[in-house]
Amino acid sequence: MTINAAQGTGEIMLKISDPWELGEAVQWQAFPAMLLTRQGERVLFQIKQPFEFKGKKREFFVASPRHRGDSVNQLYQGRSLFCGMSEIARDLAMSDNPFDTSKWIGGVALIGELEPL
Protein backbone atom coordinates (compact mmCIF):
# COMPACT_ATOMS: atom_id res chain seq x y z
CA MET A 1 0.00 0.00 0.00
CA THR A 2 1.31 3.43 -0.87
CA ILE A 3 0.59 6.63 0.98
CA ASN A 4 -2.71 8.26 0.02
CA ALA A 5 -2.24 12.02 0.31
CA ALA A 6 -5.95 12.78 -0.13
CA GLN A 7 -6.97 10.57 2.79
CA GLY A 8 -3.78 10.95 4.83
CA THR A 9 -3.38 7.17 5.08
CA GLY A 10 -0.65 4.68 4.23
CA GLU A 11 2.10 2.41 5.48
CA ILE A 12 5.13 3.81 7.25
CA MET A 13 8.08 2.65 9.33
CA LEU A 14 8.83 4.21 12.72
CA LYS A 15 12.52 4.53 13.63
CA ILE A 16 13.04 5.66 17.22
CA SER A 17 16.01 7.87 18.12
CA ASP A 18 14.93 9.04 21.59
CA PRO A 19 14.33 8.28 24.43
CA TRP A 20 17.51 6.25 24.60
CA GLU A 21 16.04 3.95 27.26
CA LEU A 22 13.26 2.91 24.89
CA GLY A 23 15.62 2.43 21.95
CA GLU A 24 17.76 0.13 24.05
CA ALA A 25 14.71 -1.75 25.37
CA VAL A 26 13.50 -2.54 21.82
CA GLN A 27 17.04 -3.05 20.47
CA TRP A 28 16.60 -0.10 18.08
CA GLN A 29 14.27 -2.06 15.84
CA ALA A 30 12.01 -0.22 13.41
CA PHE A 31 8.24 -0.64 13.73
CA PRO A 32 5.81 -1.00 10.83
CA ALA A 33 2.86 1.34 11.30
CA MET A 34 -0.18 2.77 9.53
CA LEU A 35 -0.93 6.43 8.99
CA LEU A 36 -4.58 6.74 9.96
CA THR A 37 -5.29 10.41 9.27
CA ARG A 38 -3.78 13.85 9.25
CA GLN A 39 -4.76 17.30 10.41
CA GLY A 40 -2.61 20.17 9.21
CA GLU A 41 0.97 19.44 10.25
CA ARG A 42 0.12 16.45 12.46
CA VAL A 43 -0.51 12.80 11.65
CA LEU A 44 -2.05 10.01 13.68
CA PHE A 45 -0.48 6.59 13.28
CA GLN A 46 -0.90 3.12 14.75
CA ILE A 47 1.92 0.67 15.38
CA LYS A 48 0.95 -2.59 13.63
CA GLN A 49 2.34 -4.76 16.42
CA PRO A 50 2.38 -2.55 19.52
CA PHE A 51 5.60 -2.64 21.52
CA GLU A 52 5.83 -2.94 25.28
CA PHE A 53 7.64 -0.32 27.30
CA LYS A 54 7.52 0.20 31.06
CA GLY A 55 4.89 -2.52 31.43
CA LYS A 56 2.42 -1.10 28.86
CA LYS A 57 1.66 -1.78 25.22
CA ARG A 58 2.28 1.31 23.09
CA GLU A 59 0.14 1.62 19.96
CA PHE A 60 -1.18 5.08 18.92
CA PHE A 61 0.87 8.25 18.38
CA VAL A 62 0.37 11.78 17.10
CA ALA A 63 3.43 13.10 15.27
CA SER A 64 4.48 16.51 14.00
CA PRO A 65 7.63 17.76 12.26
CA ARG A 66 10.54 18.37 14.61
CA HIS A 67 12.49 20.84 12.47
CA ARG A 68 11.50 24.21 11.09
CA GLY A 69 10.89 24.01 7.37
CA ASP A 70 9.86 20.35 7.45
CA SER A 71 6.30 19.32 6.66
CA VAL A 72 4.16 16.20 6.91
CA ASN A 73 3.79 16.61 3.15
CA GLN A 74 7.22 14.99 2.90
CA LEU A 75 5.62 11.65 3.83
CA TYR A 76 3.10 12.03 1.02
CA GLN A 77 5.93 12.82 -1.38
CA GLY A 78 7.72 9.59 -0.48
CA ARG A 79 10.31 11.23 1.80
CA SER A 80 11.16 10.56 5.45
CA LEU A 81 10.19 12.98 8.20
CA PHE A 82 11.96 13.59 11.52
CA CYS A 83 9.24 14.05 14.15
CA GLY A 84 8.29 14.58 17.73
CA MET A 85 5.62 12.07 18.74
CA SER A 86 3.21 11.75 21.65
CA GLU A 87 1.51 8.50 22.56
CA ILE A 88 -2.25 8.82 22.92
CA ALA A 89 -4.83 6.49 24.41
CA ARG A 90 -6.87 4.19 22.16
CA ASP A 91 -10.14 5.97 23.06
CA LEU A 92 -8.69 9.33 21.97
CA ALA A 93 -7.26 7.77 18.78
CA MET A 94 -10.73 6.42 17.91
CA SER A 95 -12.56 9.63 18.83
CA ASP A 96 -13.86 12.35 16.52
CA ASN A 97 -10.88 14.54 17.41
CA PRO A 98 -7.76 12.43 17.99
CA PHE A 99 -5.57 15.51 17.62
CA ASP A 100 -6.93 17.18 20.75
CA THR A 101 -3.98 16.48 22.99
CA SER A 102 -4.78 19.37 25.35
CA LYS A 103 -5.49 16.89 28.14
CA TRP A 104 -2.49 14.70 27.34
CA ILE A 105 -1.12 13.15 30.50
CA GLY A 106 1.65 10.60 30.60
CA GLY A 107 2.23 8.30 27.71
CA VAL A 108 5.50 8.05 25.89
CA ALA A 109 7.03 10.97 24.01
CA LEU A 110 9.33 9.98 21.16
CA ILE A 111 11.73 11.57 18.75
CA GLY A 112 12.37 9.68 15.58
CA GLU A 113 11.82 9.25 11.90
CA LEU A 114 8.74 8.23 9.96
CA GLU A 115 9.59 6.64 6.64
CA PRO A 116 6.99 5.96 3.95
CA LEU A 117 6.91 2.42 2.54
pLDDT digits over 36-95, tens only?
A: 999 999 999 999 999 888 888 999 999 999 999 999 999 988 999 999 999 998 989 999
Domain boundaries of the chain, sorted by first residue: 10-116
CA-to-CA distance for 92 and 101, rounded, in angstroms? 9
Higher pLDDT pick, 6 / 114: 114
Please report which confidence band the pLDDT of residue 10 belongs to, taking 50, 70 and 90 as the band edges: confident
Asked if pLDDT for residue 115 goes beyond 60, the answer is: yes
Nearest to 4, CA basis, from 30, 31, 43, 32: 43
User: Looking at the chain, which runs of residues are DSSP E strands?
Assistant: 10-18, 31-39, 42-53, 56-65, 81-88, 109-116
Whether the model clears a pTM of 0.85, i.e. scores above it, the answer is yes
